[in-house]
Amino acid sequence: MAKKQYGFLINSKDCYGCRTCSMACKSENVTPPGVLWRRVREFNEDLPNAQAFITMSCNHCDDPQCLKVCPADTYTKRADGIVIQDHDKCIGCQMCIMACPYNAPVYDPVEGKTSKCNMCADRIDEGLKPRCVESCPTGAIEFGEIEDLRQKHITNWALLEKRYGVPDHTISHPNIVIIGMED
């Protein structure tokens, strides 16, 4: 039996950059000012004239670089694949930020520590969806077992890396499916 691994599917065609997901995440997790665990990136092109948005947070990678480099053993990976940070252990060295290709951990200069998306693990444990998924007015963010999401859609990593500067997915093997940026 395959190991369970949760992940996100992001459909950029349905995202119009409202940032509701980002604000819902901030509200749910009561992050400090300036600390956003989910951020919406905007991409603009002249030829062809196009605009696209992609919402990103921690991708709960198969090979989480944050976990590998943290000298305080702050990060763990749950049986369902969710990468959790024990915030009390964080020493604020920011090694996780430097290691993560997706810039998921965020440093709070006031507290002197980093934090990141925990995929709303407490909500998932209660049978609920992550708040970002629940709040998206267009349904541009889906959540589920990553293999189910990958069976529905395939990410064109080569295009995303070349055209949009998305990091090389082979570094950490993120559990995210990104669609809608192919055109």
CATH number for position 119: 3.30.70.20
For residue 90, what pLDDT band results from cuts at 50, 70 and 90? very high
CB 156 within 8 A of CB 183: no
> How many domains does the chain divide into?
1
Q: What's the confidence (pLDDT) of residue 2?
A: 53
Mean pLDDT value of segment 14-26: 96
Give 1 or 13, the one with higher predicted confidence: 13
pTM beyond 0.75, yes or no: yes
Structural domain of 165: 4-177
For residue 117, tell me if it sits in a domain: yes
- Can you read off the two tokens belonging to residue 102? 């997706």
For residue 182, tell me if it sits in a domain: no
For residue 183, tell me if it sits in a domain: no
Q: What's the confidence (pLDDT) of residue 98?
A: 97
For residue 32, tell me if it sits in a domain: yes
